[in-house]
Chains A and B, each alone.
Chain A
Amino acid sequence: MALVFAGVCSHAPGITNRPERADPQKRERFFAAFERLRLAIEAAKPDALVIVAAEHFANFFMNNMPAFAMGMAEHYDGPIEDEKWLGIPHARVPGNRDLSLRLISRVMQEVDVAYAEEWKLDHGIMVPLRFLTPRWDLPIVPANINCQGPPLTPLHRAYAFGRALRQACDAAPERLALLGTGGISHWPATPNSGKINEAWDREFLARWTENRRDALLSYTDADTYRDGGQGGFEIRTFIAVAGAAEGSAGEIWCYEPIPAFAVGCTVGAMKLA
Chain B
Amino acid sequence: MSLYYVQKLLYQLNRDPEIRKRFAADPEGVLAGYELTAEELGAIRRPDIGLLYVLGVNGQILMHYAAMCGFEWSAYLEAMREGVRRHGPVRAGLYKLVED
**A residues within 8 Å of B by Cβ?**
17-18, 56-57, 61-63, 80-82, 85, 148-150, 187-193, 195, 225, 229-230, 233
Partner of B59, one of A81, A150, A188: A188
What 0/1 pattern do residues 45 to 85 of B give for CB contact below 8 A with A?
A: 00000000000001111111001100001000100110010
Which residues of B lie under 8 Å from residue A190 when comparing CB positions?
59, 80, 95-98
- Select A18's contact among B59, B62, B73, beta carbons within 8 Å: B73
Complex contacts, A195 vs chain B, CB 8 Å? 98, 100
Q: Which B residues are in CB contact (< 8 Å) with A149?
A: 58
Q: Are B67 and A192 in contact (CB under 8 A)?
A: no
- Taken together as a complex, chains A and B put the C-alpha atoms of A81 and B66 apart, in Å, by 12
Q: How far is the CA of A63 from the CA of B4 in the complex (A)?
A: 9
Q: Determine if B8 is an interface residue (Cβ-Cβ < 8 Å).
A: yes
- Chain A hits for B7, CB < 8 A: 62
- Chain B residues touching A, majority SS: helix
The residues of B with any CB-CB pair to A shorter than 8 Å are 4, 7-8, 11, 15, 58-64, 67-68, 73, 77, 80-81, 84, 94-98, 100
Nearest CB of chain A from residue B86's CB, rounded to whole Å: 13
Please tell me if the beta carbons of A191 and B59 are within 8 angstroms of each other in the complex.
no
A225→B96 CA distance, assembly (Å)? 10
Residues of A within 8 A of B67 (CB): 81-82, 85
Count of chain A to chain B residue pairs whose CB atoms are closer than 8 Å in the complex: 57
Chain B min CB distance to A148 (Å): 6
Q: Are A148 and B58 in contact (CB under 8 A)?
A: yes
Question: Shortest CB–CB separation between residue A181 and chain B, in angstroms?
Answer: 15
19 additional A-B residue pairs with CB within 8 Å, beyond A189-B60, A190-B59? A57-B58, A61-B8, A61-B11, A63-B8, A81-B64, A85-B64, A85-B67, A148-B60, A150-B94, A187-B98, A188-B63, A189-B62, A190-B97, A193-B77, A225-B94, A229-B98, A230-B59, A230-B94, A230-B95
29 A-B contacts (beta carbon < 8 Å): A17-B73, A56-B60, A57-B11, A57-B60, A57-B61, A61-B8, A62-B7, A63-B8, A80-B15, A82-B67, A148-B60, A187-B98, A188-B59, A188-B63, A189-B59, A189-B60, A189-B63, A190-B59, A190-B80, A190-B97, A190-B98, A192-B97, A192-B98, A192-B100, A195-B100, A225-B94, A230-B59, A230-B94, A233-B94
A172 CB to nearest B CB, Å: 32
Minimal beta-carbon separation of B12 from chain A (angstroms): 9
> Bound complex: CA of A189 vs CA of B98, how far in Å?
12
Bound Cα distance from A146 to B97, whole angstroms: 22
3 smallest beta-carbon distances between A and B, as pairs = A189-B59, A230-B94, A189-B63
CB distance from A145 to the nearest CB of B (A): 14
A191 touches which one: B8, B80, B94 (CB < 8 A)? B80
